[in-house]
Structure 1
Amino acid sequence: MPAQPWGCRSLLLLMMMVCFGVLPGTHATADETRDYILWYRNYDSPAIRALVELALEETPEYGPFRLIRSEELSQGRVLRELAQRQSGLVDIANVATSPDRETFLTPIPIPVDGGLLGFRVCVVLPENLGDFAGIRTLADLKQSGIRIGQGAHWPDTPILESNGIEVVTHSRYEILFGMLRNDRFECFARGVSEVLYDLEVEHDSQLVVEPDLLLAYPMPSFLFVGPEDHETAQRLQLGMERAIYDGRFAEFLKNYYGRAVEILNLRRRQIIALENPFLTGESLNIGRLALENLRRRLDSLSD
């Protein structure tokens, strides 16, 4: 039965007003446990690991499973490994989408965080907070001379650059925090859905979240598998769709991201909207819908 439009009844479920078709077909229960290798950064993220496990649990007809942590591969490397079809190093990765990624890999087109990745806050050094005072618009941000740190292979980098923002990059996520500490840039822009976990892992009181600004652009974050791994793609999509229908996805969003919405005080922040010219038509619609739903809800909470 095809999916019906999903009515959202809470702040975080409002982010997921997207309609998808359920993949048909049944599968005999396998006797052997299937191992799925999840990219290490996703495995180490409690939210993403929980979501992948949820999707797999929702599809018992595909058989028992075991989730395994991949080697510590950079984002660029993990995408190349997935594209090789028979890598053996990784089966599933969650990253922001882009046309290239959707061409060479298989996306599961449901935003894993309801669209929150497209909302970005700045991780900064406390002594640099004054640099952000008075910034209200994109023009203000560009004139301030603030540099934003991002991963060399992340879709955010060309998005920010296309909006006239100076970006400093490195291929390793972990190195970017050291670059921030060494004043190589003033803002490490992180998604609302990931920044609190980042800071817990770094455990550094000299890293703080800038309190007033919120960069916003449509950028859905999907699960991706290899181009020929159709069974894994079907299992993940069917599992996520079932979780939407039975309410477990809404509970997942609330449990893992509700705290971030409140702690980061999104409803009080100045939103600076950026364009993302690097999305396919479908992904752009998904991203815009998620952002508009969240913005509308945040506006209502501010009244």
Structure 2
Amino acid sequence: MLAVSLTLIAPATVSAAPEMVTEVSEGHRSFILWYRNYDNPAIRSLVELALSKTSEYGSYDLIRSVELSQGRVLRELANNNSSLVDIANVATSSEREAYLNPVPLPVDGGLLGFRVCLVLPKNLSLFQDINTIEDLQNSNIRIGQGAHWPDTPILEANGINVITHTRYEILFGMLRNERFECFARGISEVMFDLELNQADDLVIEPDLLLAYPMPSYLFVAPNDQEAAHRLQLGLERAIQDGSFAVYLKTWFGRAVVELGLERRKVLTLENPYLSEESMYVGRHTLENLRRRLEFLGQ
């Protein structure tokens, strides 16, 4: 069953472009990875996978960045001369693709746009009668998100009440203090969130799945073409030799199974902020998730 789900989620990532021709660049480079990606073993292992498959560029090591907000890390990359960060994995948008250097292959097979709610156990009853986007819009449920996350304008464009903060870690305390009722997290990250933050007092709402096209890419500075080429080539090689599929199964298979996607009510939202290419990737992933849900429901 898991193999079927991964096959249906990942097709947008397996039709990689023909392998690019690269120049050999001997030597060693230290890459500074945004701390939230570095602390996430799934993202860190994918960056290491891509770099390890491109030995013609030379040896490497990964360094954890200082603790920067998402907005700050994107500004640092855009400056082209930052000493604080070289690589960040974030959700994409047409704006981000315009002023940064994206590696346009979804790092998690497109799972970031499928979201569940972290909630206080006592608030679970608030979600029982939510069956459609209209129900969510007309409820008193507020969704917590990062101020600089692209999810925030997506949710607002769909008429959802959103409460924000610039720091990811602070949002957990805001949920506990009932500043909002749902902390919407990607199905590829929510299990890690609970473990990292030792959030035994929070639970995952069991019935709803928010779904919108939102690929998650690696980004580097606009003038760092070598890093962009190396990461893209490494990911394409991983796709072609099957190690990317192994990566998806290893790091996200547990969440796909334990979150019970086949029994959840899917609330589909529009994302008006994607480039044409990323919209195609996101919609392809969304359509394949629907097919998987239909298949499992038969």
Cα displacement string for residues 55-99 of structure 1 (whole angstroms, at most 9, x for unaligned residues): 001111111110111110000000000000011110000000011
Residue identity opposite 1:287 in structure 2: G
Partner of 2:6: 12
- 1:29 to partner: Cα distance: 5.0
The answer to whether the 8 A contact 1:13-1:253 is kept is: no
Cα displacement string for residues 157-182 of structure 1 (whole angstroms, at most 9, x for unaligned residues): 00000100000000000000000000
Cα distance in 1 for partners of 2:219, 2:115 equals 22
- 1:23 to partner: Cα distance: 4.9
Match of 2:295 among 284, 292, 300: 300
**Alignment partner of 1:294: what SS?**
helix
Q: Where do 5+ consecutive residues of structure 2 fail to align?
A: none
Structure 1 runs (4+) deviating above 4 angstroms are: none
Match of 1:238 among 206, 211, 233: 233
The answer to whether the 8 A contact 2:116-2:186 is kept is: yes
Once the two structures are overlaid, the 10-residue window that deviates more, 134-143 or 183-192, is: 134-143
The answer to whether the 8 A contact 1:13-1:114 is kept is: no
Q: Where do 5+ consecutive residues of structure 1 fail to align?
A: 1-8
Identical positions, percent: 65
TM alignment of 1:1-303, pairs within 5 A: 10-18=4-12, 19-28=15-24, 30=26, 32-303=27-298
Could you state the TM-score of these two structures normalised by the residue count of structure 2?
A: 0.96
Cα distance in 2 for partners of 1:108, 1:85 equals 16
Cα distance in 1 for partners of 2:172, 2:269 equals 24
Cα distance in 2 for partners of 1:23, 1:103 equals 24
Cα distance in 2 for partners of 1:29, 1:284 equals 34
Cα distance in 2 for partners of 1:74, 1:22 equals 35
Cα distance in 1 for partners of 2:107, 2:20 equals 22
| Change in 2 beyond 3 A, CA 1:13/1:231 | farther
Cα distance in 1 for partners of 2:267, 2:234 equals 35
The answer to whether the 8 A contact 1:85-1:227 is kept is: yes
Cα distance in 1 for partners of 2:64, 2:129 equals 44
Cα distance in 1 for partners of 2:45, 2:289 equals 23
Cα distance in 1 for partners of 2:32, 2:101 equals 16
Residue identity opposite 1:127 in structure 2: K
Once the two structures are overlaid, the 10-residue window that deviates more, 14-23 or 93-102, is: 14-23
